[in-house]
Amino acid sequence: MKEKVALAYSGGLDTTAIIPWLKENFEYDVVCVCVDCGQGDELDGLEERARSCGAEKLYIENVIDEFCDDFIVPCVQGHAVYENKYLLGTSMARPVIAKRLVEIARKEGCTAICHGATGKGNDQIRFELAVKALAPDLKIIAPWRHEKWGMASREDEIAYCRAHGIDLPFSADSSYSRDRNLWHISHEGLELEDPAVEPNYDHLLVLSNTPNKAPDEPLYLAMKFEKGIPVALNGQKMKVADIILALNEVGGKYGIGIVDIVENRVVGMKSRGVYETPGGTILMEAHQQLEELILDRETYALKIDMGNKLAQIVYEGKWFTPLREAVCAFIKSTQEYVTGEVKFKLYKGNIIKAGTTSPYSLYNEDIASFTTGDMYDHHDAEGFINLFGLSTKVRALKLTNVTNDN
């Protein structure tokens, strides 16, 4: 019997070309695994396409709820945002894809796992670190880095497919390189390869309007959280996946979450891309607005550091590590009282606060008000300032004395 390889299969040009290449160069039986993280109609026709390319079997695995509950929610709770802009849409999806890929590989008795990530990107790192953590015995095949690959462009891949009797509707020059899931869609290529060129948003955007094309009237929303998890939208209880879907629709309509970024890839180069994350941007902002009321100053400050660390960990593909588990354990502990309702309005690309309430709010009007109350005596501040600034005053006096002596 031939050995089997589990291929992370999207149905795109790269993974389409990889199927006959694996059979030709390794004589593997190819088991395609498409992991559905919310790609929508991109999954249409995959069964026929995979079979026509020579795959022995295709799995289409729906992991949308697992993706939302176990991967997205911890990052929302941590406010994990890479380089202050990127909401980790692709980065969060890769570990759940790799996890299911390994599970199918075990089920099918595969001896190797294959992915279509290029040698320039981050995804090769994310996929391979996950496989090393979950199945260190499995061989990893990365065609774009393999000496037998021999293809350097989309044109080469299309020609290779045609030479193998595969005639598929892939254009070499008319589309962006995109990655889509429930959380976001990313765009790279074409005019985006030049940071000096403005994105052609009319051609590029899939989920969103630009803010100038958004409705002229604002839209009010209300979201409820329990222990840092979104549980209801506009009074209707919903699971996380459905909340994100609903927020994607309204957020896209109002031009929320369009980001043009030049980011630092793990492999050392800078890359330019445009991300659409309408629902995710709203969800992140709503969670942060609620947290502002509830967390004490010291915990809030440390949590910012932990959120930045989590973003780096996820971006670098280190989900299945003790460090990620430890950081997420800290973040989860901070969510015990992050319960309440956030109201806001969407208006032409903006998310504007409209009132936040929580039974655990630390905001106390008696203390915060300019009106003197029983809980805070203005005179107490004098002694605090004297002690808080003592080291500053001592240093200034010392420098003055030294200067005078000289």
Enumerate the active-site residues: 14, 94, 123, 177
What are the tokens at 221? Answer: 């929303």
- The full length of the chain comes to 406
What are the tokens at 139? Answer: 């061989």
Give how far Cα 319 sits from Cα of 74, 137, 144, 307, 313, Å: 11, 19, 24, 14, 7
What's the rounded Cα separation, in Å, for the pair 318 and 95?
9
What's the rounded Cα separation, in Å, for the pair 19 and 168?
14
What's the rounded Cα separation, in Å, for the pair 144 and 335?
42
What's the rounded Cα separation, in Å, for the pair 364 and 375?
10
Name the amino acid, one letter, at 269.
Answer: M
Under 8 Å between Cβ of 143 and 21: yes
What's the rounded Cα separation, in Å, for the pair 49 and 46?
5
Give how far Cα 327 sits from Cα of 6, 266, 307, 335, Å: 31, 20, 8, 13
Strand-by-strand arrangement of the 177-180 sheet: 177-180, 185-188, 270-276, 258-264
Task: Find, among 213, 186, 202, 214, the residue nearest to 277 by Cα.
Answer: 186
What are the tokens at 229? Answer: 């998890």
What are the tokens at 314? Answer: 């996820």
